[in-house]
Structure 1
């Protein structure tokens, strides 16, 4: 097992998750991906060392917000990605513990900077 921070990524589009994982791995992070809520739940049961969860909420049902609450209860920082972030979605995500929301498409540099910022925040506050 590596000393690198572990990031979970959840999304419906496997190719997008693979690209995200490659980008994060290039940044020195360990990454596990899931394309379904069931797969995500299994990963979360297996691992207790998750630092950040990146959740692409597009295509998921309201169950995604239950997972956000579970992640928040476990003190796992969250970054929520979506094609459109309405005020209602922003309120839902933040009320369930998401620290950051980004609207797609996302520039690689913006995503990397956001992840680095979350990691810095985690280091300073835990």
Structure 2
């Protein structure tokens, strides 16, 4: 992994993605954001150095899980964000490779701690 980790963020709400991107950039991460699955696919095709994918699943259909499978197949760690995370959604996300799930609205400190924890996990398992 490079010295600077690359974070992909996918979500329908551009303002939320910009806030996420600013938060990650302040933590010295490179960030790519996408508001559509097609754009996300193009980014994945272009970059093979993704460290973490942050998926805000609100507003996406059940098809989001196939992208989780693709990320998992590429050994890309995932953080799933959702307004509500019922047990069935939690099970689906974890079974498709999500390492962490947080409910929106996300507390900034919780998000930062979760990302730091994921980065530490990744570094320890390289």
SS at match of 2:9: strand
SS at match of 1:105: coil
| Residue 24 (structure 1) aligns with | 24
Q: Does 1:93 align with 2:89?
A: no
> How high is the TM-score relative to the length of structure 1?
0.97
| Residue 33 (structure 2) aligns with | 33
> How high is the TM-score relative to the length of structure 2?
0.97
SS at match of 1:84: coil
* 1:44-69, Cα deviation, whole Å (9 max, x unpaired): 00000000000000000111100000
Looking at structure 2, the residues matched to 97 and 3 of structure 1 have their Cα atoms a distance apart, in angstroms, of 24
Q: CA deviation at 1:3?
A: 3.5
- Higher mean alpha-carbon deviation, 38-47 vs 2-11, is at 2-11
* 1:61-111, Cα deviation, whole Å (9 max, x unpaired): 111100000000000000000000000100100000000000111111110
Number of aligned residue pairs: 125
| Residue 83 (structure 2) aligns with | 83
| Residue 42 (structure 1) aligns with | 42
Q: CA deviation at 1:17?
A: 0.2
| Structure 1 unaligned regions, length at least 5 | none
| Structure 2 unaligned regions, length at least 5 | none
* Deviant stretches of 4+, over 3 Å: none
